[in-house]
Structure formats: C-alpha cells, structure tokens
Amino acid sequence: MKYSGWPDAGELVVGKIDEIEDFGVFVDLEEYRDKRGLIHISEVANGWIKNVRDHVREGQIAVCKVLDVDEEHEQIDLSLKDVNDHQRSDKIQEWKNEQKADNWMGIAFGEDVPDERYVEVADELLAAHGSLYEGFSEAAIHGREALEGTDLAEDDREAIVETARENVSVPYVDVSGYVDLENPSASGVDGVREALKAAEGNGEVPEGVELSVGYVGAPEYRITVRAPNYKTAEDALEESASRAVSAIEAEGGSGEFHRERRTDEE
C-alpha cells in the first residue's frame, strides 16, 4: 500500500522513470499514491549532459533525493546525482522489505482488507517499530512482547505474530517463561539448586540453542531461550521447565511453569 501524503525535503524515495524529456525526467513515486516528481537535467548526473538517455531509461527503478515539495502546485523536485551507491542500495533494500511487509499484511488481515483498517494497523506498527517490516520482524523474534507498546486489539496481535512466524526469516528468536520452585522438604535450597541445574540441562542443551535461568524473586525464576527458529525455542523452553518441575518434585517440593511474570498482588 502506498502512502497518501507527501514526501519531505531531504527524504530518499524510490521511483519508476516514466517519461524522459530534453529538460529532465519525470518519475512516478513507488511509495506514494498518485505522486510524480521531476528530475531536472542538472540533477540527473554530475557534469555536462549531452543526452539524458545516456544516463536513464523508461521503466528504470531509481532512488532519488527530494529537493523540494510544493503541495499547492503539486510539484516535487528530485535529484539522482545527490544519492550515493550506499544510500541507493540501502533504500532499495528498505523498499523491497516494505513490499514484503505489505504482502504479509494481506496474509494477516486478508487481501481485501479496507484501506482504513490497513492504515489503522499499519500506523500502530510504524509508531512502535518505524516500519511495517521491522514490526513483523520483531513479532517473529519476540512474539506478542514486540506488540505490547501498541494499541492493537488482541486478535490483531495474534494475526501479526502468527503471520510473522510463518513468513519472516530471522537469524534467531528469543522466548521466555517462568517457573515457580518451592521446596519445604529437608533438602531446601539445595533441592532448588538441583532443579535449576536440571532446567539448564545440566550443562547440555541442543546445538544452536542458548538457554539461561535467572532469579526473579522467590519462588520465581525466568527461563530464557535463544534458538534458530520459534518451534525449536518453544520446545527447549517447555523441556527446560519440565526438567525443573520434575527435579523439584523428586526433592519433595513443587513446581509450576507459566508464560507471564506474576505480580506481587497475585
């Protein structure tokens, strides 16, 4: 989905070269709805230009810098020469990522999702993470925790997380949960220590998995897992909690696994 507003001066934009004239180049902006800009011949390349077509062609995707925006006259002045190779590469990748995220929005909320509904959800992701792509990426890595700072409805959060975890390729995911360990038996604290060692795998965890257990506040401990994908992380988390509960019960104590941290009031 394209933005309905106007770009800002100094912004880098992606456009498709639509028309080439002797005096310059007209560009359809790919990220903005019904917006067209002009690259004056002096902004196409450095130095003297004999033929504009030696530098650009119709249908070419180009990264331009916005020099000036005149909304009243619906004029956007652009520059090609003010964009270096690094900026061009980064902007094209960003644009491609947002196209992916636009597709994910269709998967999460339906291809025929109304524009107002799309914008409502997109604005929340943009405000929280700066882009749709980053919003989905964070949801794939951190799950619902990545959306806690938004005003999205519960169903919307679930749809985003589910879509992200099925479609976003990420280098790793982090998941966490909590286990309560109580041991009124004679083994006391020593029994709890044994349960924590069991939670950590007694020094052995699956390849590619990082697992740690930290103290939160008696009797609560947090288990954190980092793994290459969500399923592996979730499996490792549940297995860790199960080992801890089994170990504490073997000592005569009790244990319970839960996903959210308990409050003092609870």
The CATH number assigned to the domain holding 201 equals: 3.30.70.1130
Residue by residue, pLDDT tens for the chain (266 residues) are 677 789 999 999 999 999 999 999 999 999 999 999 999 999 999 999 999 999 999 999 999 999 999 999 999 999 999 999 999 999 999 999 999 999 999 999 998 889 899 999 999 999 999 999 999 999 988 888 899 989 999 999 999 999 998 998 877 888 899 999 999 999 999 999 999 999 998 777 777 789 999 999 889 999 999 988 888 888 999 999 999 999 999 999 999 999 887 655 44
Say whether both 203 and 250 belong to one domain. Answer: yes
pLDDT at 263: 54
CB atoms within 10 A of CB 62: 21
In the chain, the number of structural domains is 3
Say whether both 92 and 79 belong to one domain. Answer: no
The CATH number assigned to the domain holding 137 equals: 1.10.150
Start-to-end CA span in the chain (Å): 44
End residue of a domain, out of 83, 114, 144: 83
End residue of a domain, out of 167, 195, 220: 167
pLDDT at 265: 43
162 falls within a domain: yes
Report the distance separating Cα 256 and Cα 266, nearest Å: 14
Range of the domain at 139: 86-167
> What percent of the chain has a predicted confidence (pLDDT) above 70?
98
Report the distance separating Cα 1 and Cα 102, nearest Å: 6
36 falls within a domain: yes
CB atoms within 10 A of CB 68: 12
107 falls within a domain: yes
Rg (CA), the chain: 27
130: left (phi over 0), alpha (psi -120 to 50) or beta: left
Report the distance separating Cα 219 and Cα 255, nearest Å: 9
Say whether both 204 and 192 belong to one domain. Answer: yes
Report the distance separating Cα 207 and Cα 149, nearest Å: 33
Residues facing residue 69 across a β-bridge: 76
Say whether both 67 and 131 belong to one domain. Answer: no
131 falls within a domain: yes
